[in-house]
Structure 1
Amino acid sequence: MKLVLALLLVFLSGRIYAENPRLISVIEPPANYLNARGEPDGFVTDIIRTLQEELNNHSKIEFIPEARALKIAEQNANVILFSFSRTPEREQKFHWLGQVQSKKWHIITLKTRQLAIDSPGQLKTLPSIGVVRGDVREAWLIAQGFSNISSVASHEQNIRRLLTGRVTAILYELQGLRHLTASLRLEPDTFESVYIANQSDVYILMSKQGTSPTLLRRWQQAFSQLRHSGKLGQIARKWQARLLSKQNTPSEVVDNILVF
């Protein structure tokens, strides 16, 4: 009898462990990033941690470059990614747990360049546009037929390249720019947005291949409860106030999500 119970406990603990999701994010402040103490931080990270508390989940948050994170989620079961833009190309590859953000993509350059952009055609004539390798903005520019794309590993690298003149402009968001200029001790007025190229809705998503239906359902229900209980809106409003006071980053809370 004791042997049977021991085997049952091993089996059950194995099932519980197997259905613990792998949590993967990208460095994309202020939604998700590593703070000065080297800890995961950000308003979407807050959402994930609240979901973990509701589900008694203790998975560690990993930060991985976007292209590799997407590949891991496409090829492996029980993987949760955050925060990723929802695109037609990605639609059928993942389960979409819930929207957490909506953001505009700005063409950002040095104010001293005094660039004036009125159309996508003008963007294609720029010497170079900096993006992050594997990022959704790089994929979008490629799909739009841009040939002046210059890709590197991080947004911070792009900001530094903009300062040294190695790229003419970067495709990024103003809220991320303000976060990084603050951490790099740069004057935000050094930069300006000259054109809004696109807008995307950002989600928490889960892998499809082999993912446990029970695990998927539990996280879907937890996110739905978070939204209907008002906690999702509370997190959004907390970060709206925090970003405005600390970084002068304005935003709206619409349907319980931050809109930049």
Structure 2
Amino acid sequence: MSILKITLITICCFWSVYVNAKITIMTEDFAPFGYYDAQGKLTGIGVELVQAITEKLNVDSNIQVLPWSRAIKKLELLPNRALFCVARTPARNDKFEWVGPILSDGVYLYHTNDFDSSKDTIQSAKLWKNIAVTANYPEHQVLTELGFDNLWITNQPQENVRLLIYNRVTAMVAGEFAMPSLLKSLEMDGTDVVRSEISLFDIELYIAFSKGTDPQVLRKWQNALEELKSSPQYYQIRQRYTVPTQ
């Protein structure tokens, strides 16, 4: 057998292994998207949606739960990784491959009801004493780009809630999906927490894959997602995690 044929066969074998390599799926512990319930089972709206997709694809649905910063770093550096639920921001767009969106969420400033923001705007909120926001989240980047220099940077969204409840900050940033679950997970009374009318942005959440993931794999995941979104199952999953409008 010629050296050329051996080389071609070797390349094909390596390519086959690469294309068919198992995708390691990751998320963070952040309700309602992914969290452990009272029985210690991983659940959440993102978890259920991804598990429904993997069931359609007949692939392993084992999900690694990691701190957000570590998961993002693995996604940037390692092949065959997938992470949900990830906001597709301009800064991230070219770093990863994308399947979605799987969900959309509105992001607002929240404060306690003893603070009046009825006459405030995004611009006047820059004069507030401080605003809690989690590092490396899209809202952190948005507020920084808008020129906010009154940010209290935290490592976890739960820290933002504690700071707000104990009056250490004027306000915090959260998505409408996330805020009720954050309060519930900390067993905190959220009756005095109100959503301001200051909307930062509407965020679309995706499954992000390592750069260079095989397009055929991405296409299969996207097709399975579209099939799921057109089914009653998708709306049943959403309904379980949707807070009724007051």
> Structure 2-normalised TM-score?
0.83
Paired residue secondary structure (1:74): helix
Match of 1:73 in 2: 75
Sequence identity of aligned pairs in percent?
26
Match of 1:101 in 2: 103
Residue 85 to residue 91, structure 1, CA distance change in 2 (3 Å) = same
Q: Is the 8 A contact 1:25 1:61 kept in 2?
A: yes
Residue 250 to residue 198, structure 1, CA distance change in 2 (3 Å) = same
Moved more, 121-130 or 47-56: 47-56
Match of 2:185 in 1: 183
**Whole-angstrom distance in 1 between the partners of 2:220 and 2:73:** 24
Paired residue secondary structure (2:108): strand
Q: Is the 8 A contact 1:161 1:167 kept in 2?
A: yes
Moved more, 179-188 or 78-87: 179-188
> Structure 1-normalised TM-score?
0.79
> Which of these residues, 215, 218, 227, is aligned with residue 216 of structure 1?
218
**Whole-angstrom distance in 2 between the partners of 1:250 and 1:179:** 15
Match of 2:208 in 1: 205
Structure 1 position 107, deviation (Å): 0.6
> Which of these residues, 39, 42, 45, is aligned with residue 44 of structure 2?
42
Equivalent residues in 2 for 1:164-179, closer than 5 Å: 164-179=166-181
Residue 152 to residue 117, structure 1, CA distance change in 2 (3 Å) = farther
Equivalent residues in 2 for 1:93-242, closer than 5 Å: 93-194=95-196, 195-209=198-212, 211-227=213-229, 230-231=230-231, 233-240=232-239, 242=240
Moved more, 78-87 or 60-69: 60-69
Number of equivalences? 232
Q: What residue identity is the alignment partner of 1:111?
A: N
Q: Is the 8 A contact 1:117 1:123 kept in 2?
A: no
**Whole-angstrom distance in 1 between the partners of 2:209 and 2:66:** 15
**Whole-angstrom distance in 2 between the partners of 1:28 and 1:126:** 27
Paired residue secondary structure (2:139): helix
Q: Is the 8 A contact 1:27 1:33 kept in 2?
A: yes
**Whole-angstrom distance in 2 between the partners of 1:94 and 1:16:** 17
**Gap regions ≥5 residues in structure 2:** 1-12
Summarize deviations over 1:46-82 as a string: whole Å, max 9, x none.
Answer: 1111122122222521222333322211221111111
Summarize deviations over 1:99-147 as a string: whole Å, max 9, x none.
Answer: 1111111110111223335311111101111011221111111111111
Task: Provide runs of 4+ in structure 1 moved above 6 Å.
Answer: none
Q: What residue identity is the alignment partner of 1:93?
A: K
**Whole-angstrom distance in 1 between the partners of 2:22 and 2:225:** 16
Residue 220 to residue 100, structure 1, CA distance change in 2 (3 Å) = closer
Match of 2:26 in 1: 24
Structure 1 position 161, deviation (Å): 0.9
**Gap regions ≥5 residues in structure 1:** 1-10, 252-260
Match of 2:241 in 1: 243
